[in-house]
Amino acid sequence: MNERILVINPGSTSTKLALFVEDRQEWKESISHTAAELSRFPTINDQLEFRRDLVLAALEEHNEPLSGLAAVVSRGGNLPPVHTGAYLVDEYLCEALRDRPVDQHAANIGAAIALQLAEKAGVHAYIYDALTVDEMDPVNTVTGLRGVRRPARGHNLNTRAAALHYCAENGKDYNSSTVIVAHLGGGITVNLHKNGRMCDVVMDEEGPFSPERAGGLPVYSVVDMCFSGEYDKKSLMKHLQRAGGLLDWFGTGDLQELEVLMDEGDEEVALVYEAMALNTAKAIGRLAVTAKGSVDAIVLTGGMACSSLLPGKIAEYCGWIAPVVIIPGENEMNALAEGTLRVLRGEETADLFRG
């Protein structure tokens, strides 16, 4: 059986590629895009042909003919809410990402790139665990304003892969387990996996601050910022999403740099670092309440989980809830390949998006 899978992961400044055979990565490539290159394109959708051609060139460099592929999979973009797992990419799904996405994101063009390559190869294209997976229990969506619903946005791909990995390694059935997973990256999100569903989440806009995100803020203060005359919507959103957190405090989001400063006795860095760890643990505790205290494990994943200091600090605050397991790194490429492999082997079924 042919199990050669091409994985595509478009990001804001790069397009990552990898070729998997079964569950083994044969090669990977990260194509960087300069600000000057991307400035030629007014919108993300306008980058489609540019990025597709770079992918084709990379395949040629690796002597990887499209005819040898079994499937193409891309990171899923900001579709209207979907469930976990695989979706078959077709023109309807690509149209939704192009014309009515929930938000703009480079991943929105990934499905279209995957579909064009898959059609040339005569195989199917998929997305898996898209950015907008929403399996929230209704009670977890209610807010104090009738027209405002808590959505479910987070690092769904990596966190679900980490939960599945934990269960597989520990002989547990994901569909009957309760696992809280915290993704520690440029943004921090935490979600609750209970009986095979991601039924609650603490998003980066409401939870811990992080290297780039401001996190949850006193809402009245944010209203004051909105009407201060200092910001328009675009600049304020950039401040909250890309220039908040550690960047706003110290001008850097590099955890290693800050840990060196802590070792040298910088008390302000130590205080803010501790607060980030504590706020992450508070978000974990919030989801433990949703689970009524019955949690099999807390999993810490993402780039900052590689730190020799941060995971331990988080565990000091929340380790009493459940055992804390560290699965470091952002394993999105592997997660996309593993999900697609399950589809190829008939272990999962890919759905059609018609939202």
Mean pLDDT of 200-205: 96
Residue 32, pLDDT score: 95
Number of other residues whose CB lies within 10 A of the CB of residue 66: 16
Mean pLDDT of 257-271: 98
154 pLDDT more than 90: no
How far are the Cα atoms of 159, 185, 265, 270 from residue 255, in angstroms, in the given order?
21, 10, 15, 11
Query: How does residue 351 score in pLDDT terms, banded at 50, 70 and 90?
Result: very high
Query: How does residue 300 score in pLDDT terms, banded at 50, 70 and 90?
Result: very high
Query: How does residue 3 score in pLDDT terms, banded at 50, 70 and 90?
Result: very high
Residue 192, pLDDT score: 98
What pLDDT, in 10s, does the model give residues 125-134? 999 999 899 9
Residue 165, pLDDT score: 96
Residue 1, pLDDT score: 87
247 pLDDT more than 90: yes
**75 — alpha (psi -120 to 50), left (phi > 0) or beta?**
beta
Residue 330, pLDDT score: 86
Residues ≥6 apart with Cβ < 8 Å to 261: 269
Ranking 41-50, 147-156, 245-254, 269-278 by mean pLDDT, the lowest is 147-156
Percent of the chain topping pLDDT 90 = 95
pLDDT: is 12 or 219 the higher one? 219
Structural contact between residues 216 and 206, judged by C-beta atoms closer than 8 angstroms: yes
Q: How far, in Å, CA of 98 to CA of 77, rounded?
A: 10
Mean pLDDT of 206-225: 97
What Rg do the C-alpha atoms of the chain give, in angstroms? 20
178 pLDDT more than 90: yes
Looking at the DSSP bridge assignments, the partners of residue 86 are 128
251 pLDDT more than 90: yes
Residue 153, pLDDT score: 85
Q: How far, in Å, CA of 135 to CA of 146, rounded?
A: 20
104 pLDDT more than 90: no
Domains in the chain, CATH or no CATH each:
4-135+333-352 (3.30.420.40), 156-329 (3.30.420.40)
Mean pLDDT of 176-181: 98
Query: How does residue 12 score in pLDDT terms, banded at 50, 70 and 90?
Result: confident
Q: Average pLDDT of the chain?
A: 96
